[in-house]
């Protein structure tokens, strides 16, 4: 059944150089003193200073929180918000990868709602943060991956239950400037772009894909196919960076309704167990997942293959289409030096031992093909052997 296209509520300013407008945009939002949230790596890369300069040139005071951690733990959200409350800020700016953006979103919630952040997890269906008094947030991604600038919530690690939680929080502006990704190391370029590729392909192959989302997903897949190898080989290729950054935003917009399916559902648990970065874990089984899905949605899988620049023969049987999809993405992964499952897990047996935890955590509600424990084992085994 087709899903409702859940239009993002987040306005987005996209283009090379637009991050120089950060200060002016904050002023337009009425901010006089803002909490700026980032991690030490983005600071060391010099990106935070560019943003801080723009903010200060607009006559706006800044207070910094530089303690963002990957897969942001609940307590870091509370730390960031405490600094902002103490300084009586009237806005938030989050600069960095998905973890920084999600930390900023959580901090925005806690600036005007009592902690702890766990009160507002979407899983607790009865409690929602009061949005009436919320201060504005601008998010500025420095990777082309999560699409967090397009999505209406922050993903936070619940350290009590060792799982991911979602806190609802729209953003007031996303400033998406591909120039900020030019210095990104190839390894980060590759795994974050693979995350975006998953968002787009999983939305397009979801049991609840929809026609509007399809338009965004198809364009994102095409852009990643055309630009990822180029950006991995030459990080200074501005055109390739712009293509990937646009793809990441479009992919973020495309998942609003269809949501993700097999690769993300396996990857979320896999990442928690084996301490793999989000993008790496979620993209790890993409080739094998598409091979698995081809028998039920051969036309959509064939379309993915074509968008990635390969050509399955007309009227090819589903098995051949699935193999073509698997092989096309596996070849892309080889070209870009995408990590292997064996880099994180020392034996196939150990990976397969994770299957019960994956099945327990995930309902595979958005997969167009029912997924059994045996299917997950097959997918993981094939991914391990690839």
**Between 14 and 75, CB nearer to a second copy:** 14
Q: Report the C-alpha gap between 309 and 209 in whole angstroms.
A: 22
Distance, CA of 365 to chain centre: 19
Site membership for a second copy, residue 15 (CB under 8 A): yes
* Residue list 62-91, contact with a second copy (CB under 8 A): none
Beta bridge partners of 157: 73, 164
**Between 215 and 320, CB nearer to a second copy:** 215
- What residues have CB less than 8 Å from 314, skipping those under 6 apart? none
**Between 240 and 358, CB nearer to a second copy:** 240
Provide, rounded to whole angstroms, the least separation between the CB of residue 232 and a second copy.
Answer: 22
Site membership for a second copy, residue 14 (CB under 8 A): yes
Distance, CA of 144 to chain centre: 8
Q: Report the C-alpha gap between 33 and 54 in whole angstroms.
A: 13
- Give the interface segment with a second copy, choosing from 250-258, 275-283, 335-343, 372-380 (CB under 8 A): 250-258
* Residue list 202-221, contact with a second copy (CB under 8 A): 210-212, 215-216, 219
Judge contact between 268 and 287, C-beta under 8 A: no
**Between 256 and 276, CB nearer to a second copy:** 256
Q: Report the C-alpha gap between 100 and 113 in whole angstroms.
A: 20
- Give the interface segment with a second copy, choosing from 13-21, 139-147, 195-203, 298-306 (CB under 8 A): 13-21
Start-to-end C-alpha separation, the chain: 34
* Residue list 141-170, contact with a second copy (CB under 8 A): 150
Site membership for a second copy, residue 323 (CB under 8 A): no
- Give the interface segment with a second copy, choosing from 2-10, 72-80, 327-335, 366-374 (CB under 8 A): 2-10
186-204 and 318-336 helices, crossing angle to 10°: 160
**Using the rule CB under 8 A, which residue among 181, 206, 249, 367 binds a second copy?**
249
Residue 206: CB atoms within 10 Å: 28
Judge contact between 254 and 366, C-beta under 8 A: no
Question: How many chain residues are in contact with a second copy, going by CB under 8 A?
Answer: 28
Site membership for a second copy, residue 4 (CB under 8 A): yes
Q: Report the C-alpha gap between 40 and 48 in whole angstroms.
A: 9
* Residue list 109-138, contact with a second copy (CB under 8 A): none
**Between 10 and 205, CB nearer to a second copy:** 10
Provide, rounded to whole angstroms, the least separation between the CB of residue 219 and a second copy.
Answer: 5
- Taking CA atoms, 72 is separated from 39, 105, 121, 136, 275, in Å, by 11, 11, 14, 21, 13
Residues that bind a second copy (CB under 8 A): 2-15, 18, 150, 173, 210-212, 215-216, 219, 246, 249-250, 253, 257
């Amino acid at each position: 059944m087709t899903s409702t296209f859940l239009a993002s509520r987040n306005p987005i300013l996209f283009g090379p150089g637009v991050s120089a407008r950060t200060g002016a945009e904050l002023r337009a939002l009425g901010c006089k003193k803002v909490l700026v949230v980032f991690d030490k790596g983005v600071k060391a890369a010099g990106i935070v200073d560019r943003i801080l300069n723009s903010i200060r040139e607009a006559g706006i005071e800044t207070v910094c929180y530089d303690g963002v951690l990957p897969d942001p733990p609940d307590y870091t959200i509370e730390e960031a918000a405490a600094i902002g409350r103490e300084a009586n800020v009237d806005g938030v700016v989050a600069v960095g990868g998905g973890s920084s953006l999600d930390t900023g979103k959580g901090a925005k919630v806690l600036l005007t709602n009592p902690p702890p952040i766990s009160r507002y997890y979407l899983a607790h269906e009865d409690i929602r943060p009061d949005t009436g008094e919320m201060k504005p947030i601008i998010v500025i991604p420095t990777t082309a991956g999560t699409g967090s600038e397009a999505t209406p919530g922050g993903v936070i690690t619940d350290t009590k239950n060792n799982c991911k939680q979602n806190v609802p929080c729209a953003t007031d502006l996303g400033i998406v400037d591909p120039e900020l990704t030019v210095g990104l190391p190839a390894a980060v370029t590759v795994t974050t772009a693979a995350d975006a590729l998953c968002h787009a392909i999983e939305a397009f192959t979801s049991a609840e894909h929809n026609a509007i989302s399809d338009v965004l997903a198809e364009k994102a897949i095409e852009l990643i196919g055309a630009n990822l190898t180029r950006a991995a080989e030459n990080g200074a290729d501005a055109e390739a960076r712009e293509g990937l950054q646009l793809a990441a935003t479009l992919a973020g917009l495309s998942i609003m309704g269809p949501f993700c399916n097999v690769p993300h559902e396996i990857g979320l648990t896999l990442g928690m167990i084996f301490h793999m970065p989000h993008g790496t874990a979620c993209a790890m089984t993409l080739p094998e997942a598409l091979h698995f899905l081809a028998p039920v949605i051969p036309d959509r899988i064939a379309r993915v293959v074509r968008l990635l620049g390969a050509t399955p023969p007309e009227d090819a049987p589903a098995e051949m289409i699935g193999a073509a999809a698997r092989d096309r993405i596996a070849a892309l992964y080889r070209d870009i030096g995408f990590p292997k499952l064996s880099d994180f897990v020392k034996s196939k047996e150990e990976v397969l031992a994770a299957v019960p935890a994956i099945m327990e955590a995930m309902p595979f509600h958005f997969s167009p093909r029912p997924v059994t424990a045996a299917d997950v084992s097959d997918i993981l085994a094939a991914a391990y052997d690839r």
